[in-house]
């Protein structure tokens, strides 16, 4: 019985579940153990330490903690049966996110989905044990849930259906759910919910930040969660959370995976994933461990060394050199979305007609009446350097980061499919700007912020402006900013050349 976990999971069913694609992503056991490794290990030798997973799915976090406690507190409680009962009754607690995951979690932790039955390794007097599930309703106001922002049209469902109203975040007093203090809160929260706009992926509403914020209200000694890394630069629903996290000196470890497939092999999470250790009683710099392409880099530094988070440790010295010249930021003159006030669904004509002007659009360019232009009408007569507003790439490492820029001649405009990077009066200047955008150096500095397909204004915040009376190459830029051989090697390991002549 002493090695019942080892014998019961071979092959590990939880590893299999971790490879299934789902918005509520199952965590592989090896990642769980990496998260447990960054906790102070003396916790697992403390019979009074309490652990909570507020977002139980497979039960893998509680299961792996139990395995460590079984060894860690053996000296204090030598009798195996008493030790098992103590761990499962006094130390491990969970809140399941659905009824199905509550059964799965109990099966993983207690070896029985009913812990009051004869097959449970520790018998409780109820069918939940310490892994509870309570069906919660959304609280609707103006067609949205006031707690999670879910759309009433999508989640106001029949009683028999799962509503995804997660108990842990559907209350203003999470401490009243279990009425106890915890040493460790750890887990992998749901990442997003549909917001009624028909969007998925990057356009769906993120909710993982709400679980982190709610966990902090319980004031545990330690908090660790694995979440998408999009919060590094904010965005939809994440700006406040980003600012809160980057200014929180209690975050002492941040493990960042640039490619989410390194953690969740069959789940596509744009921007990668990360897990962190929040240490309530210890403030200081954060140990940032960056993993990309099987290469690991580690550095202790402030999360907010600059006004934006620098994701790659190797990039810190490069940004420092660029910033030392105090040049104007390229982003300051990049157009906002809808540079001419034209949405992507603007009706265009494929054939030219009297008084019409050419519009760059997707999937086809065409022509529109100039009266449709509601913004920046004076730009129509200028040269414009443009890139696609959305450009994503999967399995294309090293990255291009941006679509190839193109020059829109005078007498043209574009829908919001494209971003206007610069306007200018002559073709030669436009070509010089385009040459700069195509350099690896430019696109590398863009990559530091661009962790979603969107190439909007903010992603150019680390890029300095240049003298556009001349063309630019990487060699000229490396020399100007005194980029070392090692730094060049890093840039070129991340960014591939953009083929073709400047257009």
User: Residues near 486 by Cβ (< 8 Å), separated by ≥ 6?
Assistant: none
The pLDDT value given to residue 233: 85
What are 392's two structure tokens? 């994503």
Find residue 95's DSSP bridge partners.
132
The pLDDT value given to residue 161: 80
The torsion region of residue 172 among left (phi > 0), alpha (psi -120 to 50) and beta comes to alpha
What are 409's two structure tokens? 């001649």
Q: Domains in the chain, please, with CATH?
A: 4-226 (3.40.50), 320-494 (3.90.220)
Residue 278 CB neighbour total at 10 angstroms: 22
The pLDDT value given to residue 202: 43
Residue pair 155/140 in contact by the 8 Å Cβ criterion: no
The pLDDT value given to residue 287: 97
The pLDDT value given to residue 216: 97
Q: Pairing state of beta strands 192-193 and 205-206?
A: antiparallel
pLDDT per residue as tens digits for the range 240-271:
999 999 999 999 999 999 889 999 987 888 88
Strand, coil or helix: 108 = helix
Q: What helix, strand, coil percent values describe the chain, rounded to 5?
A: 35, 20, 50
What are 223's two structure tokens? 């908090």
Query: What would the 3-class secondary structure string for 129-154 be?
Result: CCEECCCCCCCEECCEECCCCCEHHH
**N residues, the chain:** 503
The pLDDT value given to residue 8: 44
CA geometry: angle 312, 317, 322, nearest 5 deg:
110
Tens digits of pLDDT across the chain (503 residues): 445 444 443 445 565 455 443 456 889 999 999 999 999 999 999 999 999 999 999 999 999 999 999 999 999 999 999 999 999 999 999 999 988 899 999 999 999 989 999 899 999 999 999 999 999 999 999 999 999 999 898 888 887 788 889 999 999 999 999 999 999 999 999 998 865 544 434 457 899 999 999 999 999 999 999 999 999 988 778 999 999 999 999 999 999 998 899 999 878 888 899 999 999 999 999 999 999 878 899 999 999 988 889 999 999 999 999 999 999 999 999 998 899 999 999 999 999 999 999 999 999 999 999 999 999 999 999 999 999 999 977 666 789 999 999 999 999 999 999 999 999 999 999 999 999 999 999 999 999 998 788 888 999 999 999 999 999 999 999 999 999 999 999 999 999 999 876 66
* C-alpha dihedral (17, 206, 106, 37), degrees to nearest 10: 80
In this prediction the pTM is 0.86
The pLDDT value given to residue 203: 52
- Give yes or no for a cis peptide into 236 (omega within 30° of 0): no
Q: Give CA–CA dist 299/288, Å, rounded.
A: 5
The pLDDT value given to residue 157: 84
Q: Give CA–CA dist 240/234, Å, rounded.
A: 8
- Give yes or no for a cis peptide into 11 (omega within 30° of 0): yes
Q: Give CA–CA dist 360/32, Å, rounded.
A: 48
């Amino acid at each position: 019985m002493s090695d019942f976990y080892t014998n019961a999971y071979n092959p590990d069913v939880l590893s299999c579940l971790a490879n299934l694609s789902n918005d509520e992503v199952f965590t592989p056991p090896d990642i769980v153990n990496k998260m447990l490794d960054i906790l102070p290990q003396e916790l697992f030798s403390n019979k009074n330490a309490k652990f909570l997973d507020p977002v139980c799915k497979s039960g893998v976090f509680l299961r792996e903690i139990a395995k460590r406690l079984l060894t860690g507190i053996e000296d204090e409680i030598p009798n195996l049966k008493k030790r098992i009962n103590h761990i499962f009754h006094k130390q491990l607690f969970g809140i399941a996110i659905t009824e199905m995951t509550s059964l799965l979690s109990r099966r993983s932790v207690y070896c029985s989905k009913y812990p009051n039955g004869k097959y449970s390794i520790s018998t409780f007097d109820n069918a939940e044990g310490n892994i509870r599930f309570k069906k919660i309703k959304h609280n609707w106001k103006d067609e949205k849930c006031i707690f999670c922002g879910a759309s009433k049209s999508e989640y106001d469902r029949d009683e028999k259906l799962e509503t995804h109203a997660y108990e842990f975040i559907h209350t203003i007093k999470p401490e009243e759910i279990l009425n106890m203090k915890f040493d460790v809160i750890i887990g992998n929260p749901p990442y997003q919910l549909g917001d009624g706009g028909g969007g998925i992926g990057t356009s769906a509403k993120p909710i993982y930040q709400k679980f982190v914020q709610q966990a902090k209200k319980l004031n545990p000694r330690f908090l660790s969660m694995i979440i998408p890394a999009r919060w590094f630069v904010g965005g939809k629903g994440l700006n406040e959370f980003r600012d809160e996290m980057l200014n929180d000196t209690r975050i002492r470890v941040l493990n960042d995976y640039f490619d989410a497939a390194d953690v969740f092999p069959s789940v596509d999470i744009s921007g990668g994933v990360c897990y962190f250790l929040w240490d309530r009683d210890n403030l200081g710099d954060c140990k940032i461990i960056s993993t990309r392409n099987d290469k690991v880099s580690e550095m202790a530094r402030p999360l907010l060394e600059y006004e934006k988070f620098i994701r790659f440790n190797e990039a810190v010295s490069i940004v420092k050199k660029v910033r030392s010249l105090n040049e104007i930021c390229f982003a300051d003159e990049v157009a906002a979305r809808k540079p001419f006030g034209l949405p992507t669904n603007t009706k265009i004509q494929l054939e030219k007609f009297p008084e019409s002007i050419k519009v760059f659009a997707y999937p086809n360019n065409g022509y529109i009446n100039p009266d449709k232009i509601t913004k920046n009408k004076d730009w129509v007569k200028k040269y414009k350097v443009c890139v696609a507003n959305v450009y994503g790439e999967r399995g294309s490492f090293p990255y291009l980061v941006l679509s190839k820029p193109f020059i829109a001649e005078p007498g043209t405009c574009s829908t919001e499919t494209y971003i206007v990077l610069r306007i200018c009066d002559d073709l030669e200047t436009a070509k010089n700007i385009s040459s700069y955008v195509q350099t690896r150096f430019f696109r590398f500095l863009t990559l530091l912020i661009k962790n979603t397909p969107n190439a909007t204004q903010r992603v150019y915040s680390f890029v300095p402006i240049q003298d556009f009376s001349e063309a630019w190459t990487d060699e000229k830029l490396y020399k100007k900013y005194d980029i070392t051989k090692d730094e060049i090697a890093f840039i070129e390991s991340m960014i591939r050349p953009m083929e073709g002549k400047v257009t």
